[in-house]
Amino acid sequence: MHLERMDKILASRTQYSRKDAKKLIWQGRVQHNGHRAASPDAKVDLDADTLELDGKPLLLRKHLYLMMNKPAGVLSAARDPKQPTVLDLVPEEYRRSGLFPAGRLDKDTEGFVLVTDDGDFAHRILSPKRHVPKTYRAKIDGPLTEQMIKGFAEGVTLEDGVLCRPAQLLVLEEGEQPLCQVVLTQGMYHQVKRMFLAFDRRVLWLKRTAIGGLLLDEALKPGETREILDKEIKMLLGKI
């Protein structure tokens, strides 16, 4: 059982302030377990109760975990005054205070961004000490050699002298602009691009396809989001 005050829950699960949340309750626009809610200080059980605002159910779960397929051109920051961010793409039903992207992709990188309001969880996924693998697909501007595969496996030295942890490079499609898979267990700025640059190659297209053992859902079109299921969260945390 997780009990919380009704006005606090309303304010955190909607765009309304705590003051406005109280007004909504007094105005009779909130339903608690199917009945008109009467008092902002009533306690709501996040695990068992239902709460509706103007007839629309609110997601009561203490924390929310979202899988987004980020399109290119969108920032993986919380808010930006000028450019669209992943939070702007979160569907209405999932909006609540405290959401943020757990980890960053470059503006031109596509794919899996995990959006949550659970700081401890994000820390576990991102902590440099835990080495949670992140998997990427990349299109490269020139052939991939055995020397590069070996170099990735041994640890690439970046242009600033930093030595990367060993990474997996797998060629998926050969050719002038080959397609490959890269698995990293750390997350430095522009890391995939800089690792290829160390071999005089440029990344033409980059997409994150998995975080730990959790694969980006292929049913998600660019810009779409779905909730990550409890069993998927457990699976992710169980392995780190």
The catalytic residue positions are: 106
DSSP 97-124: TT-EESS---TT-EEEEEEES-HHHHHH
In 3D, which of 99, 104, 133 has the Cα closest to residue 117? Answer: 99
Among the residue ranges 17-25, 27-35, 104-112, 156-164, the one whose residues contact ligand URA (CB under 6 A): 104-112
Q: Which of 30, 44, 90, 206 binds ligand URA (CB under 6 A)?
A: 206
Q: Does 109 bind ligand URA (CB under 6 A)?
A: yes
Q: Which of 21, 192, 214, 228 binds ligand URA (CB under 6 A)?
A: 192
The token duo for 177 is: 């602009």
Taking each helix axis from N to C end, the angle separating 6-13 and 18-26, rounded to the nearest 10 degrees, works out to 120
- Smallest distance from the beta carbon of 150 to ligand URA, in angstroms? 20
- Smallest distance from the beta carbon of 24 to ligand URA, in angstroms? 40
Q: Are the C-beta atoms of residues 139 and 218 closer than 8 Å to each other?
A: no
Q: Which is nearer to ligand URA, 65 or 136 (CB)?
A: 136
Q: Say how far apart CA 108 and CA 225 lie, in whole Å.
A: 18
Among the residue ranges 16-24, 50-58, 103-111, 165-173, the one whose residues contact ligand URA (CB under 6 A): 103-111
Burial 122-154 (b: 16+ CB within 10 A, else e): bebbbeeeeebbbbbbbbbeeebeeebeebbee
Q: Does 193 bind ligand URA (CB under 6 A)?
A: yes
x/- letters, 48..87, toward ligand URA (CB under 6 A): ----------------------------------------
- Smallest distance from the beta carbon of 86 to ligand URA, in angstroms? 12
Looking only at the bridges linking them, the beta strands covering 65-70 and 110-116 are: antiparallel
Q: Does 106 bind ligand URA (CB under 6 A)?
A: yes
